[in-house]
Amino acid sequence: MDIVRNNQAQSAVTRVISFTSGKGGVGKTHTVVNTAISLAAQGHSVLVLDADMGLANVDVLLGIQPKGTLHEVLKGKCSLDDILIDAPGGISIIPAASGIEEIQNLGSGEKLLLMSEIERVAHRYDFLLIDTPAGIGSDVMYFNNAAAQIVCVITGEPTSLTDSYALIKVLSSEYAEREFSIVVNDVSSEAEAKIAFNSLTKAVGKFLQVETRFVGWIPSDNQVRQCIMERRPLALAFPSSPAARAILETSKSLVYSARRNRVKGGMQFFFRQLLELSYGEEAAR
């Protein structure tokens, strides 16, 4: 499939955004899948990487069947193009690598191969969205570190806030991450979302040297549960539901904030492209 780059993206750089959370089950996968479809509806080309090696579920939510896994790519049995799947809503998916226990366990050659294969395929897209596992394991760190923008999905629950704090603490102290975009999911109102965002911001502001940015909120919506049960993405099944409309707004705000993606380090996807872009901007000033 030939993908024509969208003018709205305004650059040749693929925007790499990870979706992560300290606590499991806060709504990462449903947010990633429906954000991807919302971005596609705005004319962007979108690739989703299911980076949850243990509990893959992007394919489950979309009702699609993987043709192969990253594990087979790493073993040289097929190329990444062979396992790429076209999914509903005009998005593409790299299914999770069941068969690999942890990225940490891969040799440095395999890690490089994984990164260059993903880059080779992802450069055709405007956005690469990564659905990370929950927690503070090595895979979570690897993929968040490789993304230009980290979206931390939280809910209003105290456990979600403390677990997000723990995740941000590790990412900032051990991986020098300084900026975190926050999406508050499964809340009853914007006011409730802002309370959750403010308490997290207050805690990280007091003890960690990081910046948090509110990028959106998604209401609790029974149609989210219904869609997950029926393996249909909300953005297509119920596009005018409150949660689908909120995700569309969130995706617009992500397009805006993605323009500020920075160069972080050598492990980052499209490090060279970002470096060239920032030199170009510098020279134009």
158-175 helix and 190-207 helix, angle to the nearest 10 degrees: 40
* Residue (61 or 70) nearer to ligand ATP, CB: 61
- Structure token pair of residue 60: 């489950």
**CA pair distance 31, 26, nearest whole angstrom:** 9
Q: Which stretch binds ligand ATP (CB under 6 A): 103-111, 137-145, 164-172, 222-230?
A: 222-230
- Phi then psi for 277, rounded to 5 degrees? -60, -45
Q: Is 29 in the site for Mg ion (CB under 5 A)?
A: yes
What is the closest distance, in whole angstroms, from the C-beta atom of residue 234 to ligand ATP in the complex? 9
220 binds ligand ATP (CB under 6 A): yes
The Cα 184–Cα 31 span in angstroms is 10
**DSSP annotation string for 37-99:** HHHHHTT--EEEEE--SSS--HHHHHT---S--HHHHHTTSS-HHHH-EEETTTEEEE---TT
Q: Hey, how many other C-beta atoms are within 10 angstroms of the C-beta on 274?
A: 21
CA distance 32 to 49: 10
In the chain, the amino acid numbered 39 is: L
Select from 9, 15, 17, 28 the one that contacts ligand ATP (CB under 6 A).
28
235 is an interface residue for ligand ATP by CB under 6 A: no
Bridge partners of residue 224, in order along the sequence? none
Closest contact distance (angstroms) between CB of 18 and Mg ion is 13
Judged by CB under 6 A, which of 50, 119, 139, 186 binds ligand ATP? Answer: 186
State the nearest-atom distance from the C-beta of 107 to Mg ion, in Å. 27
Q: Which one, 29 or 261, has the nearer CB to Mg ion?
A: 29
- 228 binds ligand ATP per the rule CB under 6 A: yes
Name which position in 8, 10, 12, 24 contacts ligand ATP (CB under 6 A).
24
Nearest to ligand ATP of 226, 278 (CB atom): 226
- 225 contacts which partner out of Mg ion, ligand ATP, none, CB within 5 to 8 A by kind? ligand ATP
Name the residues that contact Mg ion, by CB under 5 A.
28-29
Name the residues that contact ligand ATP, by CB under 6 A.
21, 24-30, 52, 55, 134, 185-186, 218, 220-221, 224-225, 228, 243
